[in-house]
Amino acid sequence: MNRKLLKPYVNSMAGSNMVVIQCPHCGEDVELEDDASGLFDCPHCHNNFDWNGDFQSSDLKAKFLLFLFSIFSPSILFITSLWLMVSVFSPRSFEIILYLVISLGICALYTISLAIYGGLKKNKPLLQGALLSIGATYLTIFMMGELL
């Protein structure tokens, strides 16, 4: 059995990225390292519990909301930035295409940073949503290219 002992409290305070989870046996708060995984001893009730280090693996609702956020926030950003530029500069027919391209660029940059952040934080729902969004953006650019 691959059992890991929790670090003493003083040591865990020194670590940079800590997560607080609830022990499945006694419900007390337990501090773990951000990327910790395996079998742990609860310092309160001394029962073993499994933790895989995945982002809030038990919290499906939070996962789903993050997934939705990373899918829809790029398109909201795209529409908002386009709307802002059009209302500020009030472009003539041809210039709208330029602002459309700039907005798409901002949107793509944002989505890529979201995906990188999700990947670094091992935040799978954020990463998957962002990747889906990148796919959608690519498709939009492709379709615009076909139309023009």
Residue 24 CB, shortest distance to Zn ion, in Å, is: 8
Q: What are the structure tokens assigned to 92, written together?
A: 């003539």
25 binds Zn ion (CB under 5 A): yes
The sign of the CA dihedral 8, 10, 11, 12 is positive
Rounded distance between C-alpha atoms, residue 70 and residue 64, angstroms:
10
Query: Which residue spans within 66-112 are E strands per DSSP?
Result: none
Residue 23 CB, shortest distance to Zn ion, in Å, is: 3
Kindly identify the residues of this chain, within the stretch 63-122, that bind Zn ion according to CB under 5 A.
none
39, 45, 68, 76: residue in contact with Zn ion (rule CB under 5 A): 45
44, 109, 142, 144: residue in contact with Zn ion (rule CB under 5 A): 44
Cα end-to-end span (Å), the chain: 62
Interface positions with Zn ion (CB under 5 A): 23, 25-26, 42, 44-45
